[in-house]
Copies of this chain bind each other. A is one copy, B any other.
Amino acid sequence: MKEVVSIVKIGGNVIEDDHALDQFLNSFSKLKGPKVLIHGGGKLATKLSTRLGIPSNMVDGRRITDKETVDVITMVYAGLANKKIVAQLQSKGTNALGMSGADGNSIQAHKRPVKEIDYGFVGDIDEINSKMIANLLGTGITPVFCAISHDGKGQLLNTNADTIAAEISIAMASYYEVILYYCFEKKGVLMHIEDENSVIEHINRTTYKELLDKGIIADGMLPKLHNCFHALEHNVAKVCLGDVGMLQKNAELFTTITL
């Protein structure tokens, strides 16, 4: 039986809030066995853009990434957010190593082709350097990825953190039994969006279709759950969605997804 690796993605709202981040990093540090962290930082990037007088253009929740914006996200994601997390994890006894997708050639991508919308320097993932990540995990290092990939030709690319988490999980499935955690501000996937406690505790392929048909999974949850099933269909063992408490199993409620 393969060893379990925990791949955890945290949302931007957690990074924003010093107290929530500290609480999250405490829980993450206590996770036993090899683990990987993936983070975004969109709201911090918007803040810095505003201070620098660079407009933030969002289409369907995705950032249009022009030349100035790719510099801003590189400063915020790979610099400020990533190094803050790494330094704090070190203080909690986790030997973290922060990376963008350019580092160790860990995430190769290509610039998204322009169709109706020109997203600019946004990358769609081609390949995860799974051997390099497995090597790091093997030496007791905890990789901490920010939401940036590269094209192998010198260009950094803004890349969705949920997708990076799913693709790294899939790549690690050759070496490990992978549990993928999407950690965010809600307690899980909700049956009634206005009722925070209406968490759907288990979802599988059959109930997923029913939830889609009934329109219960909508908006931001659609791409997230798409990522979950994409991961499960590519040998990831289990996906969990919920708030910080989920990691130490002291949350009463969270959502578990299997095929």
Contacts and interface: CB of A to CB of B under 8 A. Distances in A.
Interface stretch (A5-13, A150-158, A229-237, A246-254): A150-158
A90 B152 contact: yes
A211 interface: no
A206 interface: no
Interface in A198-244: none
Give this chain's copy count: 2
A168 to B, nearest CB: 16
Contact of A87 (B75, B77, B98, B155): B155
Interface residues of A, number: 40
Interface stretch (A55-63, A99-107, A111-119, A178-186): A99-107
A186 to B, nearest CB: 28
A15 interface: no
Interface string A51-95: 110000000000000000001001111111011101110110001
A37 interface: no
A97 interface: yes
Contacts of A98: 78, 99-100, 102-103
A78 B153 CA distance: 20
Contacts of A74: 79-80, 83-84
Contacts of A78: 78-79, 82-83, 98
16 contacts: A74-B83, A75-B80, A77-B79, A78-B79, A78-B83, A79-B79, A79-B82, A83-B100, A83-B156, A86-B102, A87-B102, A87-B156, A88-B154, A90-B105, A90-B152, A96-B103
